[in-house]
């Protein structure tokens, strides 16, 4: 967000200058007029790019949002006003990025803006679901309850994310170790055999010749390999963030047997928990489906939920529309049907979400159990193939020896 430098004069004639971070120049002028200052000079300045300005050091995580919600709820429940809550939070929040945003929200609320309106200016920090729920809480007068629900919601979401990340640690480490061993064999071990092979007069087998070519290429153009790998990873990272990339990646995840079950449970847990939170807060079902479709983080389900929303608008039962997506387990469809018939859909969805939260952990453990031997076998086959390719010429050399 741009930073503006300003100079102004107070009603008593005192000269005032400073800086203010906001979206436009007009907002700086309005801020000064709101404080009864007469603006003289307002100009955008360039922000210094120190190491702390990079997102990697100041990224706002779900855990930070959950802590923010929990602390906000505790203070609101104790009778503290919204402005005082923001004032306290902006002083004690440890995350630098979130701290700065809370300060800006605090200033906007002081000027008379609604909390949700002030947060909308920072939709890159506050999730869409959170802003939507804050707005609903302001309208219904239950902001403290909403904050408690969002704290619980993001605490569970953070727990699931940590489980998924934790499950990927072992496969990633094993992959890096395997790649390191293969690179070591090709660049350091393989060349030691080159002179012996060339001087023996024995025709090298095809696998050995291929390995020698790869070894020579890695030794001669190692920098090109590193650059190409970095560029490839960067391009892939950008592509995955595009619409077509997300669709392709989600389709791949749903076709891999080991990953499909875990992905289904993670998305199901997120869907049922978010929809339950919205419905229990008084959000109409159609609007709730629209919000949930953007939260599930799966393009296949997102498109299905958008279609489901239109079907519900026409009067179709939610259970029937969800079943047509062909993604969610039969148990979820049955639970939604029971919830609709009993009029307690939000409570049923909450219980279903709790069940699938536990299922996610079990599924992740099963996935790791399957991936570990699979990756070890692949690593053994690759390294074994390299060793065999190096040993093959030795047998030919032994055969040429005359006793």
What digits encode the pLDDT tens for the residues 176-225?
888 888 888 888 877 776 666 666 666 777 887 888 888 888 888 888 88
For residues 245 and 219, membership in a common domain is answered with: yes
Rounded CA separation 273/292 (Å): 10
For residues 222 and 351, membership in a common domain is answered with: yes
Look at residue 235 in the predicted model and tell me its pLDDT.
Answer: 92
For residues 172 and 149, membership in a common domain is answered with: no
Rounded CA separation 133/274 (Å): 11
Rounded CA separation 14/12 (Å): 6
| Residue 325 within a domain | yes
Is the pLDDT at 98 greater than 50, yes or no?
A: yes
Residue-wise pLDDT for 242-262, tens only, equals 888 888 888 888 888 778 888
Distance of CA 324 to the CA centre of its chain: 28
Q: For residue 133, what are the domain limits?
A: 62-158
For residues 81 and 178, membership in a common domain is answered with: no
Look at residue 397 in the predicted model and tell me its pLDDT.
Answer: 64
| Mean pLDDT rounded to a whole number for the chain | 81
Give the number of domains in the chain: 3
User: At which residue do the structure tokens 């289904």 appear?
Assistant: 264
Half-sphere exposure of 175 (CA within 13 A, CB side): 6
Rounded CA separation 296/120 (Å): 21
Average pLDDT over residues 261-287: 86
Rounded CA separation 286/318 (Å): 10
For residues 153 and 295, membership in a common domain is answered with: no
Could you tell me the CA-to-CA distances from 343 to 40, 208, 279 in Å, in that order?
Answer: 61, 70, 11
Q: Pairing mode, if any, of strands 15-21 and 38-45?
A: unpaired
| Residue 299 within a domain | yes
DSSP class of 53: G
| Residue 66 within a domain | yes
Q: Which two tokens stand for residue 228?
A: 């190409």
Is the pLDDT at 231 greater than 90, yes or no?
A: yes
For residues 142 and 180, membership in a common domain is answered with: no
What CATH number is given to the structural domain containing 238? Answer: 1.20.81.30
Average pLDDT over residues 339-354: 89
For residues 195 and 298, membership in a common domain is answered with: yes
| Residues 281 and 129: beta-carbon distance below 8 Å | no
Is the pLDDT at 38 greater than 80, yes or no?
A: no
| Residue 50 within a domain | no
């Amino acid at each position: 967000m741009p930073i503006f430098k300003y100079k102004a004069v107070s009603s008593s004639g005192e000269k005032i200058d400073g800086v203010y971070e906001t979206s436009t120049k007009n907002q700086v002028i309005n801020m000064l007029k709101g404080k009864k200052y007469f603006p003289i000079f307002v100009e955008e300045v360039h922000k210094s790019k120190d190491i702390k300005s990079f997102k990697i050091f100041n990224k706002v995580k779900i855990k930070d949002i959950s802590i923010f919600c929990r602390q906000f709820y505790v203070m609101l429940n104790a009778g503290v006003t919204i402005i005082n809550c923001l004032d306290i939070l902006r002083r004690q929040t440890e995350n630098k990025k979130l701290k700065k945003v809370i300060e800006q929200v605090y200033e906007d609320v002081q000027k008379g803006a609604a909390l949700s309106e002030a947060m909308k200016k920072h939709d890159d920090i506050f999730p869409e679901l959170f802003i939507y729920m804050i707005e609903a809480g302001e309208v219904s007068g239950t902001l403290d309850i909403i904050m408690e629900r969002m704290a619980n919601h993001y605490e569970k979401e953070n727990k699931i994310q940590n489980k998924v990340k934790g499950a990927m640690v072992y496969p990633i480490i094993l992959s890096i170790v395997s790649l390191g061993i293969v690179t070591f064999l090709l660049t350091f071990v393989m060349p030691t055999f080159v002179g012996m092979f060339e001087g023996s007069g024995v025709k090298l087998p095809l696998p050995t010749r291929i390995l020698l070519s790869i070894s020579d290429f890695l030794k001669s153009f190692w920098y090109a390999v590193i650059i190409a790998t970095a560029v490839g990873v960067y391009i892939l990272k950008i592509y995955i963030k595009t619409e077509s990339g997300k669709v392709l990646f989600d389709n791949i995840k749903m076709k891999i047997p080991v990953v499909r079950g875990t992905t289904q449970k993670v998305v199901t847990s997120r869907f049922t928990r978010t929809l339950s939170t919205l419905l229990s807060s008084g959000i109409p079902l159609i609007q709730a489906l629209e919000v949930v479709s953007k939260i599930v983080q799966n393009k296949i389900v997102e498109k299905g939920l958008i279609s489901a929303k239109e079907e519900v608008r026409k009067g179709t039962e939610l259970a029937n529309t969800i079943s047509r997506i062909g993604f969610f387990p039969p148990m979820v469809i049955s639970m939604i049907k029971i919830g609709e018939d009993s009029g307690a859909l939000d409570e049923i969805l909450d219980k279903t979400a709790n069940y699938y939260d536990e299922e996610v952990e079990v599924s992740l453990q099963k996935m790791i159990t399957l991936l570990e031997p699979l990756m070890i076998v692949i690593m053994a086959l690759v390294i074994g193939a390299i060793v065999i390719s190096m040993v093959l010429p030795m047998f030919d050399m032994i055969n040429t020896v005359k006793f």
